[in-house]
Structure 1
Amino acid sequence: MTRDEIFTVLSNRRRRWVLHYLKQRENQRIDLRTLVDTVSAWEFETPADELPWKKRKRIYTALRQSHLPTLDDAGVIEYDRSRGEVELTEDARTVRMYLEYVPDDDIPWSQCYLGLSGVAVAITGLSWLSVYPFADLSGLALATILAVTFTVTAIVHVYHTRRGRLGMGGPDP
């Protein structure tokens, strides 16, 4: 599948929601009704059991006639139309990186690490030049401070990255 085909497949929010939901239930065949209820609830921001059937029927029709066949043709899902069941395929991994979204409040991590590296170089230089209060830092203390700083930053980075992964959290994709 080409990059353009992937973007075309993922250009619709309902298709992204389908993939998001299926990723949450990886290796499970999902009943179409369950999928319709979930996507309807996400789209209308209302629990499915509180939605009138007309609203759910619109989602059902769009999924059944358009979105699920499109995803199936792309090889991302396996859609058994006669049984009304859907399952994520191994090929979904191909599009996974395109589904990983970057939240609006995300930190530009490359700039963060570049900034930390600059601070580390500055502290090391100040320590080497014996500038107060860095003059009395031993090599081990300096290494410990820098290692802890980068470790904590990496942990925060991993946490933020996992928030945006497919199948994690709510209906953002």
Structure 2
Amino acid sequence: MKSASVSHLVGDSADDASTLSQEVAFEMLSCRRRRYVIHCLKQRGGAVELRDLVTQVAAWENEVAPEVVTYEQRMRVYTALRQSHLPKLDDGGIVTFEEHRGTIALTDAAAELEVYLDVVPHEDIPWSKYYAGLGILSLGFVGTLWIGLPPFSFVAPLGGALLVTLLFTISAAFHVRYDRRMRLGGDSEPPVAEVEP
């Protein structure tokens, strides 16, 4: 169900035919329901039947098990996916939606979305800002050690270096764990936060 408008969404030449533009990637990821679709497809190996996809998305949206999703919940999701979100993802080159067969599959271009996934809960700050702040604090700490201002003058240089290294190592370990939890297609439920452009 590819439309003629796909050429402006993905690369025009044969070499970059699967390259998504940043604008298109963020448009595809901007909607929670579309992220749920991608998450489900990634979890299930890249292809799924429409009825199974609808049930799983409805379960996530209503925070219930798939077995207890009601007919009304399913129909709301079905209508939105079939009329809007799946055609949009298909036009964007992220999925192939075979409406007559009722199947949806991820395309190779879907793997490129990972580059744009910086999922940030509303209460949190982006990791880039966190590391910038940690770097500034570390520089200030090392500067006061070097100048010898009390009470930092009592800290040995090796102890200060060890403390800074430990802070960055603990932060990086936590970041890796956080990224695994917030990744589309992971083992857990899909991340519900907004995607930051």
Residues 90, 96 of structure 2: 8 Å contact kept:
yes
Superposed CA offset, 1:63-96 (max 9, x none)? 2343222211221012233332221111113444
Task: Quickly say closer, same or farther: Cα 1:120–1:13, change in 2 above 3 A.
Answer: closer
Alignment of 1:38-117 (within 5 A): 38-117=56-135
Q: Structure 1, unaligned stretches of length 5 or more?
A: none
Query: C-alpha displacement at 1:4, in angstroms?
Result: 4.5
RMSD: 2.9
- Which is greater in Rg? 1
Counterpart for residue 118 of structure 1: 136
Aligned partners of 1:3, 1:121: CA distance in 2, in Å? Answer: 34
Q: Structure 2, unaligned stretches of length 5 or more?
A: 1-8, 10-20
TM norm structure 1: 0.76
How many correspondences in the alignment? 172
Superposed CA offset, 1:27-77 (max 9, x none)? 342122211110121233333332332432342233234322221122101
Determine whether 1:22 maps to 2:72: no
Residues 35, 184 of structure 2: 8 Å contact kept:
no
Task: Quickly say closer, same or farther: Cα 1:73–1:129, change in 2 above 3 A.
Answer: closer
Query: C-alpha displacement at 1:152, in angstroms?
Result: 1.2
Task: Quickly say closer, same or farther: Cα 1:109–1:75, change in 2 above 3 A.
Answer: closer
Query: What is the identity percentage for the equivalent residue pairs of Structure 1 and Structure 2?
Result: 42
SS at match of 2:119: coil
Determine whether 1:143 maps to 2:131: no
Task: Quickly say closer, same or farther: Cα 1:144–1:34, change in 2 above 3 A.
Answer: same
SS at match of 1:91: helix
Aligned partners of 1:15, 1:82: CA distance in 2, in Å? Answer: 20
